[in-house]
Amino acid sequence: MKTAFVTGASAGFGKAICRALVANGYRVIGGARRSEKLAELEQELGEHFIPLTVDVTDEQSLNAACESIRDLSLPIDVLVNNAGLALGVDRAQDADARNWERMIATNVTGLSMVTHKLLPAMVEANSGLIINMGSCAGTYPYAGGNIYGATKAFVRQFSLNLRADLAGTRVRVSNIEPGLCSGTEFSLVRLAGDQDAVNALYQDVEAIRPEDLANIVVWIAEQPEHMNINTIEVMPVAQTFAALSVTRNL
């Protein structure tokens, strides 16, 4: 039985990814800060789900979590670096610097450090797959996307650079770049709990669902071992590109 470690397992994509991987015969270690949410998922998924409380931005917490993984003596076949967040939609000139710090700490430093801890064992075993959760925001700029989009651009380039370093090994790295998704806590977190604003965002729009994303993760994980899926970009049909902005009489 293969073992996957999914970060951000307490909600949204992560929870759906854990469900889908368990349904497809994987043992899943699910990491997040909210233990009670992980306990609920354990109740639902049973013995093939192992909850692991971890804050990826906290060095001590991450060290302890990695020690717990080592103690389980379960080599990680698939790492899904999914934990992440956006905070705020203010323009850069109005943004709260603490939001920027938290996004960088989670989406950049946290993702990097989880990878740094688990990658050597994959290289030693000469197998393994890392699936990073990027975003369309890492490619397409939009007003208010400032640091969030930049952290996801980091995820894209880090994923490609990892593959460059992994030349000559069988370790694979993929980056998924979703567009607008509903059914997760992402927008509620981003909009600081403003449920009306969240409802307005998703009103009359058929967005991507967490289960859609989970299917993509399972599909990547099930590809033959001689293939590396570099990047998958996915948007709802209801979402497409906006024209570049022009200000008249500036």
Ligand X SMILES: NC(=O)c1ccc[n+]([C@@H]2O[C@H](COP(=O)([O-])OP(=O)(O)OC[C@H]3O[C@@H](n4cnc5c(N)ncnc54)[C@H](OP(=O)(O)O)[C@@H]3O)[C@@H](O)[C@H]2O)c1
DSSP 138: G
**Shortest Cβ 224–ligand X spacing (Å):** 26
Query: In which residue are the tokens 């490619």 written?
Result: 139
Q: Which of 26, 140, 148, 202 is catalytic?
A: 148
Cα Rg of the chain, angstroms: 18
**Nearer CB in complex with ligand X: 169/231:** 231
**Nearer CB in complex with ligand X: 68/127:** 68
Sheet holding 3-7, edge to edge: 49-53, 27-32, 3-7, 78-81, 129-133, 172-178, 231-234
**Shortest Cβ 156–ligand X spacing (Å):** 12
Strand partners, 181: 208
**Nearer CB in complex with ligand X: 26/148:** 148
**Shortest Cβ 55–ligand X spacing (Å):** 4
Contact residues toward ligand X (CB under 6 A) are: 7-14, 32-34, 37, 54-57, 82-85, 106, 110, 133, 135, 178, 180-181, 184-186, 189
DSSP 143: T
Among candidate residues 232, 71, 62, the one with its CA nearest the CA of residue 159: 232
The token duo for 109 is 């430093």
The token duo for 160 is 């490609």
- Convert 86-95 to b/e letters by CB count within 10 Å (16 or more is b): bbbbeeeeeb
The token duo for 226 is 């001689």
**Shortest Cβ 18–ligand X spacing (Å):** 10
**Nearer CB in complex with ligand X: 14/128:** 14
Question: What amino acid occupies position 233?
Answer: E
Active site (annotated) includes residue 148: yes
**Shortest Cβ 74–ligand X spacing (Å):** 20
**Nearer CB in complex with ligand X: 51/128:** 51
The residues annotated as belonging to the active site are 148
